[in-house]
Structure 1
Amino acid sequence: MQDQPYGEVFLIDKPIEWTSFDVVRKVRNALKIKKVGHAGTLDPLATGLLIVCAGKMTKQIDSFMGQEKEYTGTFVIGATTDSFDLEQPIIPVADPSHITIDQVKVAVKELTGDIMQIPPMHSAIKVDGKRVYESARKGKEVKMDPRPVSVSVFEITKFENPIVEFRIVCSKGTYIRSLARDLGEKLNVGAYMSSLCRTRIGNFKLSEAHDLLSLIEEIKARTTGSEPA
């Protein structure tokens, strides 16, 4: 494989609690090459489509990262967390029982289109050369400037108070956890993201993705010339 200009793109269904780098490392070790990377981080508690590029296809990572993303998942209103997901302890904010679907839809409409968004403190963005999540875990505040993002679709697929199920189509750089925070602020009851699945990147769909461990077995079989177990 290393004797010729090798390049390959893998569509992988990232398991929950795996980091995106965990997946890259697993593929890299199976391929036995160093040049492997992913096209867009998924948080450990998120699942779904992760594009992993190997060999000469790593040159395409930026183009994949720039494509439109689609997500489904759930928000919980009435509480929040420091990371706006389940990575940090839940903090009650206010009783959400009075919130109606119409109020949720009004708030969602205000978060649709071209908006300015402040990334979460618990994110991998670098400020002054440091990952902000490293400062957050030490209890240090870092000033995060709003960034322009585009949310072309923000659809509420089901509402059973306090659970809000959604489908979101958005641009590169959009943090769904930040949308949870902003929704909670607009409803004055707080909110956090309880689950997230990336279902599409550009024209690549989750339905086309491989189970990670099965893919690793296939790669190992291919590189050794044996049949997968």
Structure 2
Amino acid sequence: MKDAGRTFDFVNGEFLLFDKPYGWTSFDVVGKVRNLITRQLGIGKLKVGHAGTLDPLATGLMIVCTGKLTKKIQEFQGLDKRYIATLELGKTTPSFDLETEFDGEYDYSFVTRQEIEKLLEQFCGEQEQIPPVYSAKYVNGERAYEYARKGKKVEMKPSVIRIYHLKLLEYHLPLVTLDILCSKGTYIRSLVRDIGKSLGTGAYLKELVRTAIGPYELKNAMSIDLFKKVLQNI
């Protein structure tokens, strides 16, 4: 397959950058890519995998590998991630985002821009972070979100993560937008929860876009629709 002078070989392995649509799971993207390739090219079986989960309510960069290159997925998973996150102060949810209903409302009118900027400095560096119960983390052989959706209590063990960069981009209360560079395994929803807790206002993640994975940037990613057109032009 050729595109802009490049030859593609999905069986031997391709490295693809996608912009995940809102509402899609990471496995939805993998399944769609596999289906498009196998149907268009008449390939019977094809290994396709992704190098880092994005929550359904998040959008942005996903690395997808095909064929023999799937063996290198773990290398890509270890890369640092960059996000643009918008959080809303004064409200909380059990999932720390909009997957679940609001379970608390708090005053946020006293929070200043300077207070937020000072607090963000404290969240930089290596630290222990407790993942959300509504997450794909395994607990006793089962995904944590399975326990949460059944109303069962589960203890989440902290993980060691690192925040390299945490900058305030926009301040329009109750909305706050952040630029975040972090290590693998960092849950932005948990970071938002912890920021809200430290401010005394509560907070939930309203919007999340992954803009980079290591040196790979969202601006170089393609949509599923564009990929479909590329395949049709073989």
Q: Shorter-chain TM-score: which interval?
A: over 0.9
Question: Match of 1:160?
Answer: 172
Q: Which of 29, 34, 50 is the aligned partner of 2:35?
A: 29
SS in 1 for 2:55: coil
Distance 1:167 1:4 in 2: 34
Question: Match of 1:19?
Answer: 25
Q: Where does 1:1-229 land on structure 2 (aligned, <5 Å)?
A: 6-32=12-38, 33-222=45-234
CA displacement 1:107-149 (0-9 Å, x = unmatched):
2122111111000000000011100001000111111111100
SS in 1 for 2:14: strand
CA displacement 1:14-48 (0-9 Å, x = unmatched):
11001110000001111223300000000111000
Instruction: For residue 103 of structure 1, report the CA deviation from its aligned partner.
Output: 1.6
Q: For structure 1, which segment, 158-167 or 26-35, has the greater mean C-alpha deviation from structure 2 after superposition?
A: 26-35
RMSD: 1.5
CA displacement 1:64-97 (0-9 Å, x = unmatched):
1100110002010111111001111123331101
SS in 1 for 2:146: helix
CA contact (8 A) 1:48 1:206 kept: yes
CA contact (8 A) 1:132 1:142 kept: yes
Distance 1:89 1:44 in 2: 16
Instruction: For residue 220 of structure 1, report the CA deviation from its aligned partner.
Output: 4.6
Distance 2:11 2:178 in 1: 42
Structure 2-normalised TM-score?
A: 0.91
Distance 1:157 1:5 in 2: 42
CA contact (8 A) 1:26 1:216 kept: no
SS in 2 for 1:158: strand
Distance 1:139 1:178 in 2: 20
Distance 2:27 2:186 in 1: 20
User: Structure 1 residues 4 and 195 mapped into 2: Cα distance closer, same or farther (>3 Å)?
Assistant: closer
Aligned length: 221
Q: Percent identity?
A: 48
Structure 1-normalised TM-score?
A: 0.93
CA contact (8 A) 1:69 1:171 kept: yes
CA contact (8 A) 1:20 1:42 kept: yes
